[in-house]
């Protein structure tokens, strides 16, 4: 039996982790911590857990982790980096869902997250937890940096085309739309119903913290410089990410040839589905799938990629559980289908 703890379990990603793990007969979530919800029962904050989760939110205390096999940190960026160094000598496996350990350089982190990194020496030790790219490294890792939601949708869509030199690496435009849950559970005026409903809004153009994550992963994977524009948008959905990616073809390829490149690249990836039709968010909500589709615009010689995920599952909690499965030598699909 895997003994698990969720730090920051009262937020959307933490609650999603609890939902997924509570259905497992080989995992026991024995500790859930929170800040403002200390003392509350999980089923009080999330009534859907009534009858299935008998846990109350505790304050974080390092002494309570001696019997824990894996810790999930579902905290806002800037908080996990203060706790991970304390947990490294106590817990065998740590999976951080924040952005604190995703970037290879503390200076990049400080530039885009606008926060001084408290544990820069661990950046080189953390393994980027994208199973479709780093499965072997994940299996040997102690500390996993779970990918961001926008990067997951963009990287999975772009990797095959870049690695097979189908597209120009300096010709990429990524437009991504996210449901409101991607901003977290903390209340704010700009995320209120009247501000979000019947509206679409771009934000953090050119400054979003996921830009260096997308760039560093793609450049490391391909061995060449990659340049792109990334424009995130907030849309009136609870959950889901829809990325439309514009690229320029290097050579004249048919749609059948592109499909074969993608199909072959992801043939061993159980959660990536290559579609012959345009993907839709409703087909991936509450699943760990990433659906990828494409079309070729012959007039402009563009390969246009469409990628959809659930930001709370494949973009957060589901991918974290997928990483846990790999770390413990289990089938990566376990508990996620």
Domain of 82: which CATH number? Answer: 3.40.50.720
Q: Is the pLDDT reported for residue 53 higher than 70?
A: yes
- Are 75 and 186 in the same domain? no
Average pLDDT over residues 54-77: 91
Average pLDDT over residues 167-176: 96
Q: Which residues contact 15 (CB under 8 A, 6 or more apart)?
A: 9, 42, 45, 46
- Are 306 and 175 in the same domain? yes
- Which phi and psi angles does 63 have, rounded to 5°? -65, -20
Average pLDDT over residues 46-52: 88
Confidence of residue 185 (pLDDT cuts 50, 70, 90): low
Average pLDDT over residues 245-252: 95
In 10 A of CB 67, how many CB atoms? 10
Confidence of residue 40 (pLDDT cuts 50, 70, 90): confident
Does 322 reside within a domain?
Answer: no
Reported as a single tens digit per residue, the pLDDT across 111-170 is 999 999 999 999 999 999 999 999 999 999 999 999 999 999 999 999 999 999 999 999
Structural domain that includes position 301: 150-311
- Are 94 and 30 in the same domain? yes
Boundary (domain end) residue, out of 59, 91, 125: 125
* Among candidate residues 45, 43, 251, the one with its CA nearest the CA of residue 164: 251
Q: For position 163, what pLDDT does the model report? A: 97
Q: For position 129, what pLDDT does the model report? A: 98
Does 175 reside within a domain?
Answer: yes
Number of domains in the chain: 2
8 A C-beta contact, residue 94 and residue 70: yes
Confidence of residue 37 (pLDDT cuts 50, 70, 90): confident
- Are 160 and 289 in the same domain? yes
Q: At 119, is the secondary structure helix, strand, or coil? A: coil
Average pLDDT over residues 25-31: 95
Where residue 169 sits, what CATH number does that domain have?
A: 3.30.360.10
Q: For position 64, what pLDDT does the model report? A: 82
Does 49 reside within a domain?
Answer: yes
Does 289 reside within a domain?
Answer: yes
Does 133 reside within a domain?
Answer: no
- Are 119 and 159 in the same domain? no
Average pLDDT over residues 99-117: 95
| Nearest-angstrom CA–CA distance, 217 and 243 | 17
Q: Is the pLDDT reported for residue 230 higher than 90?
A: yes
Does 335 reside within a domain?
Answer: no
Is residue 290 flagged as an active site residue?
no
Does 328 reside within a domain?
Answer: no
Instruction: Please identify which of the residues 42, 119, 138, 149 carries the catalytic annotation.
Output: 149
Q: For position 193, what pLDDT does the model report? A: 80
Average pLDDT over residues 7-14: 94
Q: For position 187, what pLDDT does the model report? A: 56
Chain mean pLDDT for the chain: 94
- Are 119 and 155 in the same domain? no
Does 269 reside within a domain?
Answer: yes
DSSP structure string for 137-159: HHHT-SEEEPPPHHHHHHHHHHH
Q: Is the pLDDT reported for residue 235 higher than 70?
A: yes
Query: 173 forms bridges with which residues in the sheet?
Result: 229, 246
- Are 31 and 178 in the same domain? no
- Are 15 and 52 in the same domain? yes
């Amino acid at each position: 039996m895997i003994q698990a703890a969720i730090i920051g379990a009262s937020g959307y990603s933490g609650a999603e982790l609890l939902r997924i793990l509570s259905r497992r007969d080989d995992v026991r979530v024995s500790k859930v911590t929170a800040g403002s919800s200390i003392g509350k029962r999980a089923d009080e904050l999330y009534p859907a857990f009534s009858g299935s989760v008998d846990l109350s939110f505790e304050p974080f205390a390092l002494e309570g982790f001696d019997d824990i096999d894996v810790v999930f940190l579902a905290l806002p960026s800037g908080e996990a980096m203060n706790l991970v160094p304390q947990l490294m000598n106590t817990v065998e496996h740590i999976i951080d869902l924040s952005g604190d350990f995703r970037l290879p350089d503390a200076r990049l982190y400080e530039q885009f997250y606008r926060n001084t990194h408290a544990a820069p020496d661990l950046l080189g030790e953390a393994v980027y937890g994208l199973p479709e790219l780093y499965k072997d490294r994940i299996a040997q890792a102690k500390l996993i940096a779970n990918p961001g939601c926008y990067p997951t949708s963009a990287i999975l869509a772009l990797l095959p085309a870049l690695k097979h030199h189908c597209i120009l690496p300096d010709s990429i435009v990524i437009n991504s739309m996210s449901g409101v849950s991607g901003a977290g559970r903390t209340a704010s005026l700009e995320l209120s119903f009247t501000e979000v409903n019947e509206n679409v809004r771009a934000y953090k153009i050119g400054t979003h913290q996921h830009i260096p994550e997308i760039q560093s992963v793609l450049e490391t994977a391909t061995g060449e410089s990659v340049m792109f524009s990334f424009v995130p948008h907030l849309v009136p959905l609870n959950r889901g990410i829809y990325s439309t990616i514009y690229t320029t073809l290097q050579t004249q390829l048919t749609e059948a040839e592109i499909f074969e490149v993608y199909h072959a690249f992801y043939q061993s990836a159980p959660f990536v589905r290559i579609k012959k039709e345009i993907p839709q968010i409703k087909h991936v909500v509450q699943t760990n799938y990433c659906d990828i589709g494409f079309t070729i615009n012959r007039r402009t010689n563009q390969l246009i990629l469409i990628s959809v995920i659930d930001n709370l599952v494949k973009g957060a909690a589901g991918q974290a559980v997928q990483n846990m499965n790999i770390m413990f030598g289990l089938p990566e699909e376990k508990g996620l289908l």
